[in-house]
A and B are shown apart, each in its own frame.
Chain A
Amino acid sequence: MAISRRKFLGWLTATGLSSAFGKTAHAGTTKHFEGHPDSLGVLYDNTKCIGCRTCEAACNRVNDLPPPDRPFDDLSVLDKKRRTDAKKYMIINKYDHIRNPKGPLHARIGCNHCLEPACASSCFVRAYTKTKEGAVTYDSSVCVGCRYCMIACPFNIPTFEYDSAFTPRIRKCTMCYDTRLVKGELPGCVEECPTESFTFGRREDLFKIAHERIRRYPRRYLDHIYGENEMGGTSWLYLSGVAFKKIGMREDLGVTPAPALTASALASVPMVVGTWPLLLMGIYAVSKRKEKIATEEKEQALADTIAQAKAEADLKISEAWQKAEKEKEKAVETAVRKALEEAAETENEESS
């Protein structure tokens, strides 16, 4: 091999270390992130919402979104269940089949600004940021458009500009972070709501307000603040007069923050990088050794056979040699005897 094993293992260690230190997932720790201190949020109270779509109009205006297909004062839009799309960062859905003394109930659908966002965790170019103020923002200048954030988001919030050929972006509510929050202004929807369905403030304070409302009007509210624990907690919080699942909000999401779902899988990467070379080279060594032993045994067997054959041949040769010797001796003897006999005969003849 041109590369020494040591060098190769060195590379692997380097890869392993860089992947081990390159991430912030907290697999196997008891760390629990409860949001940045003093981070902000919005409390939406659907018992106050009248479904006037003023917030939708405000959102559209402050974010410079394209004009809607139907005007914002057309309330018949509410007859259909909608979701966010590239032209709408937030929408209000109406649920009038629910019996409610004050008329239909509504639900606001838009980014919940998770404390530990799935979109940010799943983004392979870190296009999303959870700001210390609480907003989850998006940077289109690095976005590749892979749409894994849309797969990951448990609330189905990020939307994509499918019709853009060259600069498609993810579109979603940013809590008006760049346009208003940093200037000290309220998010568009919050500011323009005529019924104060939205309350903006520190997340901690919002809990106090929400609990106070539930305490004061126990019959009006469900005793649950949506977003307190869902997916590890969100910066947007919801109060409702009816079960959340009746107004299209999933109650089966669990309390595990999204990054924790993939943390152990990611944590196994350096382990595989670290242990696989040992395992594979071990198996390689074993199979190589087996092969070597097999070759050696084969050679030994061959050598033995040859030696045996040689010994046998030697024996045969020596036997043959001996036989030949004997025959030769015999022949010589006979010849000598014959010669002697002949000599004796001639002597006899001469003497007689």
Chain B
Amino acid sequence: MSQEATTANRSFITPFNIIASIIVLIGLFLTVRRFSGGLGAVTNLSDNNAWGIWIGFDLLTGVALAAGGYVTAAAVYIFGMKKYHSAVRPAVLTGFLGYALVVLALHYDVGRPWRLPYPFVVQQGTTSVLFEVAACVALYLTVLFLEFSPAALEWLGLKRARNLAVKFTLVLVVFGIILSTLHQSSLGALFLIAPSKLHPLWYSSFIPIYFFVSSIIAGLSMVIFESTLSYRFFSSKMDETHLKEKDDIALGFGKAAAYVIAGYIAIQIMGLGADNDWHLLGSLYGLWYLVELFGFFGVSCLLYAIGAREKNLKLIRWTAAWTVLGVIMNRFNVSLIAFNWQLPSSDRYFPSWMEIGISVFLVTLGLIAFRFIVTRMPILYEHPDYRDAHRAKGGS
């Protein structure tokens, strides 16, 4: 499209570039500090609080919010909802960047990142839920890379490679859904081993199912949320099909999200009943739990339903942001706020500014990469050379 014209006319000094550059500089400084001084030099982690926001936000939340890829691919390719086709590429791209950042963040968090392949090549600890998470995340990152590759190959003009990559679409989609089911749920299952540390309102033997279902909610909402932002900043990159379909996507996904959230609230309540945790609802943690479940998910469910019924796109877009916040809150609650709840407050964890700095740095890297890609590759529009070609073949 018209990227040459727009980039040439614009000066490099834009508010986004200035802020991003500052964040990247701070991030690089913190990176040096982290890898020369160890985790202790930058984090508030302790022997009681072994996992901080690099796990709670970067890993747990990052993976949940990157669920748009598999959710959209499933809707379009498996359930045959072709009218949402233009949402696939942005969702897959966000998923791919999200997972890439998750893996990058893990390099900061683990003690010896160069040993990250050890669980696969040196010794396999198959009794560990973390092994399953690691295997699935590694495989799924590969799947997302391959799913994303046609866009990059179209950009590079490698027709034959692109056509080959497109042929694997359906296999990759099925594989991606299986892997996502497994690791989205396993991230919750990580906490099954610590019933004595996680508050009973959040601990449940259903926690893997909660995580899986809420990842679908996160995926649907992120697609809406992200498409809103993309429209705001990259509408010049969108082709007619994309512009025509985007409102339909928001309505359809919003409606789907209303249903899924309703189901999620139902299974949460069933979980309360199964463990007989009703009496805990009266405590402060109970209040917090109710805020999460009804203040966020309940309100989201209602607003999505109203938005879909009245075709109120503005309401749906705001609800998507509210839902994303709800999912973030849930992951924070499970991994940080309701975890180690029995420790005295002096032993509790609060992130250092440097931990937050690294997380902000990584998100910024993601935004920069996203911007780089959508302004160059055919993500928000169809490449003229392949127009209709992939629609007919069902490729991405």
Contact = CB atoms under 8 A, between A and B. Distances in A.
A284 interface: yes
A167 to B, nearest CB: 7
Given A142-B123, A281-B174, A163 B38 contact: yes
A1 B113 CA distance: 38
Given A269-B182, A290-B80, A151 B128 contact: no
Interface stretch (B192-200, B269-277, B287-295): B192-200
Nearest to B174: A280
Sorted from nearest, which 6 A-B pairs have the closest CB atoms?
A: A145-B111, A287-B80, A162-B40, A150-B50, A168-B111, A147-B50
B161 to A, nearest CB: 13
Contacts of B131: 124
Contacts of B181: 272, 276
B45 A162 contact: yes
B177 interface: yes
5 contacts: A2-B164, A145-B115, A272-B181, A280-B78, A287-B80
B77 to A, nearest CB: 7
Contacts of B170: 1, 284
B189 interface: yes
Contacts of B48: 83, 156
B189 A265 contact: yes
A162 B43 contact: yes
A34 interface: no
Interface string A254-281: 1000110110111011001100110011
Given A147-B50, A156-B48, A276-B178, A142 B189 contact: no
B181 to A, nearest CB: 5
B368 to A, nearest CB: 27
A182 interface: no
Nearest to A163: B40
B2 interface: no
Nearest to B164: A2
B186 interface: yes
Interface residues of A, number: 72
B39 A168 contact: yes
A54 interface: no
A347 interface: no
Contacts, number: 199
Contacts of B186: 265
Interface of A: 1-3, 8, 12, 19, 22-25, 83-86, 118, 120-127, 142-148, 150-152, 154, 156, 158-169, 250, 252-254, 258-259, 261-262, 264-266, 268-269, 272-273, 276-277, 280-281, 283-284, 287-288, 290-291
A247 to B, nearest CB: 16
A348 B146 CA distance: 103
Contacts of B77: 284
Given A124-B124, A148-B50, 12 more contacts: A123-B128, A127-B123, A142-B122, A144-B118, A144-B119, A147-B110, A165-B37, A168-B111, A168-B112, A250-B196, A269-B182, A272-B178
B50 A151 contact: yes
Given A22-B124, A265-B189, A151 B197 contact: yes
A164 B110 CA distance: 12
A163 B51 contact: no
A146 B130 contact: yes
Given A84-B47, A118-B193, A147-B50, A163 B41 contact: yes
Given A1-B171, A262-B129, A265-B208, A122 B193 contact: yes
B127 interface: yes
B78 A165 contact: no
Contacts of A122: 127-130, 193
A57 B43 CA distance: 30
A287 B80 CA distance: 5
B78 A154 contact: no
Most chain A CB inside 10 Å of its own CB: which residue of B110, B115, B127, B171:
B127
Nearest to B79: A287
B43 to A, nearest CB: 7
Nearest to A123: B125
A86 B111 CA distance: 14
A339 to B, nearest CB: 67
Contacts of A86: 47
Interface string B182-206: 1001100111111111000000010
A1 B182 CA distance: 25
B283 interface: no
